[in-house]
Amino acid sequence: MTAGFNYYRALRTDIPYVETLRSKKIAVPVLTIAGRYGVGEKLLAAVVKEAGDVQGVIAENAGHFVAEEDPEFFSEQVERSFNRSHGRDKPSHDGI
């Protein structure tokens, strides 16, 4: 429980650091994966404001925990995003 409470205790000390990032956008490709019965399109809408290269997908048959609720969809989307950001057209199964 201590670790959980410490997360919230640290918020006050995190504020000055977060303020230094306010004017900066995320410089790497970002993938949002949300469940239709979770936050849906709201996650993508929030992240688009903070990053330049954002791709969002919705798992139609999932809620908040997409990786657990639809692991095949989740894995496929992560692999597609990775391949897209590394200039690959096709899925790679070569262990890289």
Over residues 24-78, the pLDDT tens digits come to: 999 999 999 999 999 999 999 999 999 999 999 999 999 999 999 999 999 999 9
Cα atoms in the 13 Å half-sphere on the side-chain side of 14:
6
- Give pTM, 2 decimals: 0.74
- Give the CA radius of gyration of the chain: 17
Query: In the 8-state DSSP scheme, what is residue 90?
Result: S
Cα(87)–Cα(57) distance, integer angstroms: 19
Give the number of other Cβ atoms within 10 Å of residue 44's Cβ: 19
Q: Between these two residues, 88 and 62, which has the higher pLDDT value?
A: 62
- Residue ranges per structural domain of the chain: 26-85
Q: Are 29 and 55 in contact (CB under 8 A)?
A: yes
Q: Are 37 and 62 in contact (CB under 8 A)?
A: yes
Query: Span 16-28, mean pLDDT?
Result: 90
Query: Span 14-29, mean pLDDT?
Result: 91
